[in-house]
Amino acid sequence: MTTHKLPDAERVSALHGLPGWQNVKDRDAISRNFKFQDFNTAFGFMARVALKAEQMNHHPEWFNVYNRVEVVLTTHDAKGVSALDIEMARFMDELAGQ
């Protein structure tokens, strides 16, 4: 039941609580760019997210170069942003300490 697409009002409300995240243009998805001290810290973040992703069976799309990690979250089964994406976004923000 958590994989249905969030109603607009819930999504707006959830994004209010996730100030670093924004809607992706031309896709039903949300994104955030993280910047870390160095590659070690960036990949450490990715490793912790990867374990969480396996646990949730919900995986990010992400690009990394050195200390930057650019994340896009969407739920294919829901054809849009679901509660799983909000949960993952919150988890990432907690890890990144922001």
Binding characters for a second copy, 11-50, by CB under 8 A (x = yes)? ----------------------------xx--x--xx--x
Q: Residue 90 and residue 71: Cα distance in Å, rounded? A: 13
Q: Which is nearer to a second copy, 9 or 57 (CB)?
A: 57
Choose the binding region for a second copy from 2-10, 13-21, 52-60, 80-88 (rule: CB under 8 A).
52-60
56 binds a second copy (CB under 8 A): no
3 binds a second copy (CB under 8 A): no
Q: Residue 29 and residue 87: Cα distance in Å, rounded? A: 14
Task: Give the three-state DSSP class for 34.
Answer: strand
Q: Residue 98 and residue 29: Cα distance in Å, rounded? A: 21
